[in-house]
Structure formats: C-alpha cells, structure tokens
Amino acid sequence: IMLLTDPEIESSLLISSDEGATYQKYRLNFYIQSLLFHPKQEDWILAYSQDQKLYSSAEFGRRWQLIQEGVVPNRFYWSVMGSNKEPDLVHLEARTVDGHSHYLTCRMQNCTEANRNQPFPGYIDPDSLIVQDHYVFVQLTSGGRPHYYVSYRRNAFAQMKLPKYALPKDMHVISTDENQVFAAVQEWNQNDTYNLYISDTRGVYFTLALENVQSSRGPEGNIMIDLYEVAGIKGMFLANKKIDNQVKTFITYNKGRDWRLLQAPDTDLRGDPVHCLLPYCSLHLHLKVSENPYTSGIIASKDTAPSIIVASGNIGSELSDTDISMFVSSDAGNTWRQIFEEEHSVLYLDQGGVLVAMKHTSLPIRHLWLSFDEGRSWSKYSFTSIPLFVDGVLGEPGEETLIMTVFGHFSHRSEWQLVKVDYKSIFDRRCAEEDYRPWQLHSQGEACIMGAKRIYKKRKSERKCMQGKYAGAMESEPCVCTEADFDCDYGYERHSNGQCLPAFWFNPSSLSKDCSLGQSYLNSTGYRKVVSNNCTDGVREQYTAKPQKCPGKAPRGLRIVTADGKLTAEQGHNVTLMVQLEEGDVQRTLIQVDFGDGIAVSYVNLSSTEDGIKHVYQNVGIFRVTVQVDNSLGSDSAVLYLHVTCPLEHVHLSLPFVTTKNKEVNATAVLWPSQVGTLTYVWWYGNNTEPLITLEGSISFRFTSEGMNTITVQVSAGNAILQDTKTIAVYEEFRSLRLSFSPNLDDYNPDIPEWRRDIGRVIKKSLVEATGVPGQHILVAVLPGLPTTAELFVLPYQDPAGENKRSADDLEQISELLIHKLNQNSVHFELKPGVRVFVHAAHLTAAPLVDLTPTHSGSAMLMLLSVVFVGLAVFVIYKFKRKIPGINVYAQMQNEKEQEMISPVSHSENRPNVPQTELRRPGQLIDEKVESQLIGE
C-alpha cells in the first residue's frame, strides 16, 4: 500500500508491505501530482511532479531518479509488451524552451541526452502524443489544418488517411483493440457531434462507421464522446447518434458495419405493458463513463460477464435527462429489463456472478442491493448501522473478488469512514461444471456475429456458488462468409443497393502508383473484411483484394517538394527534396535532378530517393530545381522554385479561367492577411524561362497562341514565401455559361480549392455522359463562395495537328445542346449515397467570369491601399538609391550558373552584372477592372 502525504504539510510517501499494519516514511524532494504504475512490474512507478518533471522508481517509491524536465501533463507512458522490446522503455512528450513539443523515448534508469530517441522527426503539436497498445499517435498542424500520424508496432510514422473531405478539426482515439483503431473525428461542418471512423490493421486508412455521434464537455473541459465499448464481446459498441436534433441510442455487433436501435422492455418494473414500437420509440441509454475511479459510471459491463450490461436511460423517441431508470440486459443487448426507477451505481463482484447496486443520492444511506441472477431479482442488505454519506466504492483487485470497500463520512464535519464489505460468507462452495448452462451470443436471432458462432458458459440462476474457471468461458465455431462480414474499403461508400462504389474524390487506379513492372499489388474489390472477423469460405474470395501484376506505365504526375513542404531553405544547411510520382515504374526509371546552382545528380531508380535527396546551397537566391524522370515508355519533368533563406506562407491568384487570344489579361495576387509588410512578386507564365519580378500584386500580359497555360506567382513577404498556381485556357472564340445547383450541394461545400476542383471534374463527367459532347470541348470551374456556382466554358478544341477546329457555329450548337440537357434536369451526380445534386443553367454570358473569392471587401481595399503605398515607397527608394539588394538574386544566380558551366570557377570569383528589375508605376494598379476585382476579393 502506498499513501501520499498532504503536499501543503510535507512531501513524503508512506509505504506498507504488510497490508497496512505498519508504514515507513520516505521523504521526497519534489511534489507528486500523479503516479503511473507499470502494467507488469509492480515495483516500477513513474511520478509526475507539480513543476512538470518526470521521475522513475524501480523500488516502489523508495528511491527516485529524474527522467526528463518539461514533460507535458498526462503525456507519458510505459512501454507496451509486444511492441517494445525493452519493458522499462518510457514514451513521453517534452516541451522545448521555445514552447514546441517533441516525442521522446528512453530507458527509465538511463535517460541521458545521449540515450534518448526521437521516433517522430521534428516537432509535434502540444499535448498530442498518445501511446496505446500497438499504436503511437501524434498530431502536426501545418497550413492551418491538423494532420494526424500513426506508428504501428513502433514502425515508421505514416499519415492517417481519412476520406478526402473529412477535413478534421479534432480527433479522439476511442479504441485500439484487436489491431484496429476506432477514432471519433469532428469534421469541418460539425459543432457538437463527431463521426466515428474505423481503420485497417495499421491504423492508416479509415472508413466511416457512424455519423453524428453526440459529444459533450466533462467537468475538466475535456471532450466526452457518447460511445461505449461493451466489455467481453469484441466488436460490440453502443453509441448515441444525433438525428434531426434528437439523440437516439444505437448498437452494433460487428464494429460499426451495421447499427440498430435498442428494443425497449415489454413491461415496466411493476409488470405493466410498455407500448413502444420501433423505430418511433426505443430504449435510450446514457453512455458516459465515470472519470473517478471510486464511483461507477452510469453504464457498466465486465469481461468475465460478457452478456450482462447495466445502464441508466429512458424509453421514448429520444434520450432524455428526465424520467431516468436503471435497465439491465442479460443477453448482450437484445432484450432489456427495468430494475430501478432511480439511478444507482452498480458493481460487478465474483466475476459478474453478483451485482451490487447502491443508490445515487446526496443523502446518507445504509442499504445496498444484491442480485445473484443477472438482475432479475434483488435483495436488500444493510452495510452500516449508521447512515453514511457515500463518496465512493472500490472493488478489491482480482477477478474473483468478493470484497468491496465503501468510503464516505457520517457528517459533513467528520473524517472519512471506510466500510469493508465481505460477501464470501454468502457462498458455501465453488461452482462446478454442472452449475453452468450454455448461452449463445446472437443479434436478434442471428447467431453468426463477427464471422463466428460463440457459445458462453453462464451460471444457472438458481445456483448460489462462487464462480471459478468456467466464468466467461467461450467456444467458437466459424461461419461461412457473407456480404455482411465485409465493410467498404478506403475510398468506397455503401450505396442504397448495398454495393460499395468509389467515392467521387477517389481514383481506384491510384492504388498501383507505387508499383513496379514485374511486381504485384493488392487490387481492392471495394470491400475489406471486418478486422477480427473469423468467417471462412463463402464470398470471402470474391470480396478479398486480389494480387495483380503492376502495369508498365510511363512516368506521370511527377512532383518535387521539400520534405517539410516549404519553398524555403537556409543557406549552408541541408535541404531535403522529395521526388513524388503518381504513376510509373519506380524500379526502371532514371531520375536526374538539377539543383539550379550548377550541381546535378542522377539516380538509377525512384526507390533510391525514398529517404529524400539532400543538398546544401552555398548562396542566397531563388533556385530553379528541375527533375526529369525517364523509362522505356516515356518521361515527365517537374520544377520547384526554391527560395534560399526565405520562409513561406499563402496567396490567392485571381485571373480568368479562359481568355481570348492576343487579349490583355490581368492577374492579381490577393493576400490574407493583408498586412504583411514589404512584398516582392515573382511571376512565371507561358514558356518563359526567367521570371518577371515586380513590387506590385498585379500584372498584365497577352497570350499569342491557343491552348492551356499555367501562371505561378510567388510572394516574398519579409521572411516568408507564398505561392499559388492557376491554369488559363486561351482561344480565339469560346462560349461561357453560368451553372447553379440544387441547394443540397451547399450543405457539403467546405469552400476549399481541392473540393472545387474535384466537384468540377464530376460535373464535367456528368455533362459528357448526358450530352455526348467530347470532354475536350468542356471546361468547368467551380467558383468560391456560397451559394455554390460554377462557370461552364465551351472550347474550340482542335487536335495536335491543327485540324478539325470547331467554328463559331459549332460552339453555338454545343452550347444549345448543353443548355437543353441542363434545362431537362438531365445533368446530375451523386455526391454521396442518398445525396443527388442536379445541375442547372443560370444564364449565357459573352465573356468569361473571373475566379473571385467572396467577402472581405473592406480588407481588400486596405490591402489595395497598402500595396499602392508600398509600391510608391519602393519606387522612391529605387529612384534615389538606384539599387535594392536581394531583388535580382535569380538573374544573378542564372548568370553564375552559366559561367560555371563554361569554366570551373567558384561563385565567389564570379560576380556578373545585375540587370535592372522591372518596376511598375506605383499608381498603375488602380484601374476600374482591378479595383472592382479586388473589392470582390
């Protein structure tokens, strides 16, 4: 037994090794805030002090050793056997002096700086480390969005994959049982509810299990999710789901694959019939678990009593905080009985063979209730001669416990009183095998649950014997696999016909992108077996992912990015570049990387670059990093413009989606927030090999040839770089049509660029299917803001040889056909199961519309004025100083590179002439078009 002294008097531990007969005092030089005992080694303890230091003891608190300072409260864990080789390994989250957090591991008796490991590279979000079973979770926020990472069995961290537009604001790990993660995710459009997601075995790919689960805040301000995992029956959960502002209780027996309401009892406590018809009326339960270890929650179950669930709740159309009664199920949630009309705390004794109930009341009590027949009948017992204000109840450790300790006080001024209740005298013998009967787990008569028939041994209700080794014993027999044993795989959704079909944002062919010719990959059927499901044969082969030979593919979708996702690097420091390829043979692909500073490297295959390509830049500037990949089927290239010694942020580039050939086009860079100091704009457009550098956020230019063109703007704001890229279509003639949608699309519009691009692709596909018009003639751009609108462009596509170009009459005919189909409601798409969106024609316009971001007109005017004043200031500096350092670094670097290629001379020996930077007239930004455009922004 260990007791802690009152820290206001002294800091000591009182330790007894003889069940409390004698105690020995050990003084401490720190104040304990919390203790964490090792799950296996009973003498190993971690102690967290009030000044955020973590200590360890291998002698049950008799000696202590400092492990780490600056540890985050409650973010320290013992090793998990089976995942960690060392039983004395400690996982912890520590804060640095500048307020960042990182994840560390070390041995409890040897945690010097040299012996610490950092399994997750770099910083993590404060208060985000979770170590649970075989999983470690951390969170890292970038770009304003949280990203979640998981390590399974202590392997390398991988980013957790939720459906593309879940866009989580908050996540809680609910369960990690049986090599699977149950997580509650609050998405961008939720406030008081969470969606439940369930993962594959590695905890990486998540699929939806249940939407809109009720949440609330606990007394400490912590989030509490109304989800309860029933002990003793794997895969069984209860959840409170919010439907049309009503909260209802649902139950699942197969880890969220199927959910149903709870059937209310047939009769009440007095035996009168209860008229409650599903689905209009059902039983609803409170699912909050007590955070106080000395008080039971309002719902309870036990591993050794797998069929018994006790909970408080009510009968009706929704969950209520009034008319609360206590209910029990002795057949794992299929049927329920009312046992009390008021709330009680219920404890399981004798491995669940005895239920003890104690009334929830602020008044003193002297009685408790016992049931030996799974709550069918209750006997009243007195446990104290003087009524006691009960503060808590504690069951003795061990499965076969028959002793409970009630503690409280006789009056508000008295000391604590402990009452030890021993039930051993009730039993005169241990149970034998003949005292048990078989009971089969089922769900409304269906015996195959999680792919098996499970039969448990239950003590016969009339036998009063002490349970032994037979309690909770179970025999299992596998079932033949059916469709009900399979859930939808990642990227797939279940439709009303029961089929799992790809979600609108998911490309099934992307599964083979990391595949090499001659190898194989698992090609999903759209289904995955529920983890821990034990079914055999049947449709298992039909629904299981099949190994498939990797197709030979030309390189496609090449990207080069920095490892931290930034466009900046520090001079003289390593920068790690990552080469990413959507498709292509990773083994037989030649990679050539030119760092833009006169140095280039080559690799014989993509797998050699998996850990990144490291490079050190010795000079400051903007460097054009190019990567070229080639295999026998084709090639691809990508460019990264890297700013050395300049950090990064965000910009929105506003310009038309389509423009007329030889017509002047305005492009404007709009910042948020607008007050970001002096700005330098670097523009890349067309086939120009060098950028245009300005001090204004708007430029004009013309395109002389038809086709698709990309424009990139990078904005240097102090020590930050922001970037946006847009594509513009250039044609001599085209038609433009505004589109609108049925209002239900607005409910699912998070108003972010990725969502608009994917929806635009789906709309285009629907238009092509409805009209038969070739996709090359159609461009769809979904506009920012609500209500959701889009611009449809009809383009005069011609083949690469320049033939078969459409005339103006052809464009008119295509436009009329599109309008005809739109007016007939022939164009529609399914956003998700049960959500069909219709596309309508709004009106025909003579010219294309500009991609405008809504709202913030006042901020845009302030930004406009600030840009003008900054431009004016820079113009004056330029006029009188004749030179602005740092503006011409790219041109300088390019000249250096060219000279290096001529003769092997170092940078310090070559100083080329610096060309003049283009500076626009400061007032030039303000014309009617740009002003109205920025006000719209």
Q: d(Cα 503, Cα 498) in Å, to the nearest integer?
A: 14
Q: Residue 560 above 50 pLDDT?
A: yes
Q: Nearest to residue 67, comparing CAs of 40, 98, 94, 41?
A: 94
Task: Report pLDDT for 930.
Answer: 35
Other CB atoms within 10 Å distance of the CB of residue 931: 14
Q: d(Cα 293, Cα 346) in Å, to the nearest integer?
A: 13
Q: d(Cα 568, Cα 570) in Å, to the nearest integer?
A: 7
Q: Residue 649 above 80 pLDDT?
A: no
Question: Which of 36-50, 281-295, 529-543 is predicted least confidently?
Answer: 281-295
- Give the tokens for residue 554: 């030309």
Task: Report pLDDT for 177.
Answer: 82
Task: Report pLDDT for 513.
Answer: 54
Sheet with 53-57, side-by-side order of all strands: 32-37, 45-49, 53-57, 65-69
Give 694-721 pLDDT, tens digit per residue: 888 888 888 777 777 888 888 886 567 7
Query: What are the angstrom distances between the C-alpha of 475 and each of 178, 351, 472, 495?
Result: 18, 18, 10, 36
Query: What are the angstrom distances between the C-alpha of 223 and each of 172, 174, 220, 287?
Result: 9, 12, 9, 14
Work out the pLDDT band at 895, boundaries 50, 70, 90: very low
Question: Which of 396-405, 720-729, 843-852 is predicted least confidently?
Answer: 843-852
Exposure string of 675-707, with b = 16+ CB inside 10 Å and e = fewer, is ebeebbbbbbbeeeeebebbbbbbbebebeebe
Task: Report pLDDT for 206.
Answer: 94
Task: Report pLDDT for 333.
Answer: 93
SS3 for 424? helix
Give Cβ neighbours of residue 115 (< 8 Å, ≥ 6 apart).
106, 107
Work out the pLDDT band at 294, boundaries 50, 70, 90: low
**What string of DSSP letters covers 799-840?**
-TTS-S---HHHHHHHHHHHHHHHHTT--EEEEETTEEEEEE
Question: Which of 395-409, 821-835, 857-871 is predicted least confidently?
Answer: 857-871
Cβ(320)–Cβ(314) under 8 Å? yes
- Give the tokens for residue 612: 């990144």
Task: Report pLDDT for 678.
Answer: 59
DSSP single-letter state for residue 265: P
Q: Which residue has the higher pLDDT, 203 or 906?
A: 203
Inter-helix orientation angle 928-936/857-881, to 10°: 130
Q: Which residue has the higher pLDDT, 618 or 607?
A: 618
Task: Report pLDDT for 642.
Answer: 85
Q: d(Cα 392, Cα 407) in Å, to the nearest integer?
A: 6
Omega of the bond leading into 146 within 30 degrees of 0 (cis): no
Task: Report pLDDT for 892.
Answer: 34
Q: d(Cα 814, Cα 822) in Å, to the nearest integer?
A: 12
Cβ(378)–Cβ(396) under 8 Å? no
- Work out the angle at residue 467's Cα, subtended by the Cα atoms of residues 465 and 473, and round it to the nearest 5 degrees: 135
Q: d(Cα 562, Cα 640) in Å, to the nearest integer?
A: 9
Backbone angles phi, psi at 8, to 5 degrees: -75, -20
Q: Residue 466 above 80 pLDDT?
A: yes
Q: d(Cα 7, Cα 20) in Å, to the nearest integer?
A: 21
Q: Is the pTM of this model over 0.85?
A: no
- Give the tokens for residue 873: 């200031």
Give Cβ neighbours of residue 56 (< 8 Å, ≥ 6 apart).
44, 45, 46, 47, 64, 65, 67, 90, 108, 109, 111
Query: What are the angstrom distances between the C-alpha of 441 and each of 233, 279, 304?
Result: 9, 23, 14
Give 126-138 pLDDT, tens digit per residue: 999 999 999 999 9
**Residue whose structure tokens are 């004395």:** 88
Q: Residue 586 above 60 pLDDT?
A: no
- Give the tokens for residue 192: 């008081």
- Give the tokens for residue 100: 């960042």
Cβ(197)–Cβ(206) under 8 Å? yes
**Residue whose structure tokens are 């292509």:** 584
- Give the tokens for residue 91: 């996982």
Task: Report pLDDT for 935.
Answer: 38
Q: Exposed, middle or buried: residue 772 (CB in 10 Å: 0-12, 13-18, 19+)?
A: exposed
Q: Residue 465 above 80 pLDDT?
A: yes
Work out the pLDDT band at 11, boundaries 50, 70, 90: very high
Indicate the helix (H) or strand (E) that contains 928: helix 928-936
Q: d(Cα 166, Cα 160) in Å, to the nearest integer?
A: 12
Q: Residue 894 above 80 pLDDT?
A: no
Q: d(Cα 782, Cα 849) in Å, to the nearest integer?
A: 11
Give 440-460 pLDDT, tens digit per residue: 999 998 999 999 999 988 888
The percent of residues above 70 in pLDDT, for the chain, comes to 82
Cβ(694)–Cβ(925) under 8 Å? no
> Averaged over 623-650, what is the pLDDT?
78
Indicate the helix (H) or strand (E) that contains 40: none
Task: Report pLDDT for 899.
Answer: 33
Q: Which residue has the higher pLDDT, 395 or 784?
A: 784
Q: In the predicted model, what is the mean pLDDT of the chain?
A: 81
SS3 for 147? strand
Task: Report pLDDT for 117.
Answer: 92
SS3 for 630? strand
Cβ(180)–Cβ(257) under 8 Å? no
- Give the tokens for residue 757: 């691009």
**Residue whose structure tokens are 């002793």:** 403
Q: d(Cα 606, Cα 580) in Å, to the nearest integer?
A: 9
Task: Report pLDDT for 139.
Answer: 94
> Averaged over 302-319, what is the pLDDT?
90
Residue 631's DSSP bridge partners are: 634
SS3 for 870? helix
Q: d(Cα 252, Cα 230) in Å, to the nearest integer?
A: 10
Q: d(Cα 50, Cα 630) in Å, to the nearest integer?
A: 60
Q: d(Cα 296, Cα 19) in Å, to the nearest integer?
A: 25
Query: What are the angstrom distances between the C-alpha of 779 and each of 583, 709, 773?
Result: 24, 14, 12
Q: Residue 846 above 80 pLDDT?
A: no
**Residue whose structure tokens are 């001079």:** 571
Task: Report pLDDT for 646.
Answer: 45
Cβ(259)–Cβ(357) under 8 Å? no
Q: Which residue has the higher pLDDT, 677 or 90?
A: 90
Cα torsion angle, 130, 131, 133, 139, sign:
positive
Q: Nearest to residue 710, comparing CAs of 776, 638, 763?
A: 638
Task: Report pLDDT for 890.
Answer: 35
Q: Residue 800 above 70 pLDDT?
A: no
> Averaged over 488-499, what is the pLDDT?
91
Cβ(745)–Cβ(788) under 8 Å? yes
